[in-house]
Amino acid sequence: MINKRTVAGGCCLNSTDDMKTDIHPQYYPNAKVRCACGNSFTVGSTKETFEVEICHACHPFYTGKGKLVDTAGRVEKFRARLSKKAALARVKKARKTNKK
């Protein structure tokens, strides 16, 4: 038997009697989450346990302890190129003034 209710706008919703049974995964309201930093907390999920690499307790955005990661000395390489360029410009300027 189909039991339908009419709602505003004229559409029909099936009652909960018409829902399929045994198709939904089991829900764990107190699923444990463990982070690599050692922090653990509970959430609601369809999995019983989680292991994550980063969480709100250790993520730089949430802790305010963000660091600039300088990979392979890129800042130093840039500064070295910049100083070479400035030195070359000084040499060219000196040559120009000596020719006059």
* Domain count across the chain: 2
Task: Name the residue range of residue 33's domain.
Answer: 25-67
Mean pLDDT of the region 50-76? 77
For residue 100, tell me if it sits in a domain.
Answer: yes
Same domain, yes or no: 63 and 74: no
CB 2 within 8 A of CB 18: yes
Could you tell me the pLDDT band of residue 62, with boundaries at 50, 70 and 90? confident
Residues 6+ apart with CB under 8 A from 62: 56
Question: With pLDDT > 70 as the criterion, what percentage of the chain qualifies?
Answer: 73
Could you tell me the pLDDT band of residue 47, with boundaries at 50, 70 and 90? very high
For residue 12, tell me if it sits in a domain.
Answer: no
Locate 4 and state its tokens. 């339908």
- Select the more confidently predicted residue: 36 or 98: 36
Could you tell me the pLDDT band of residue 93, with boundaries at 50, 70 and 90? confident
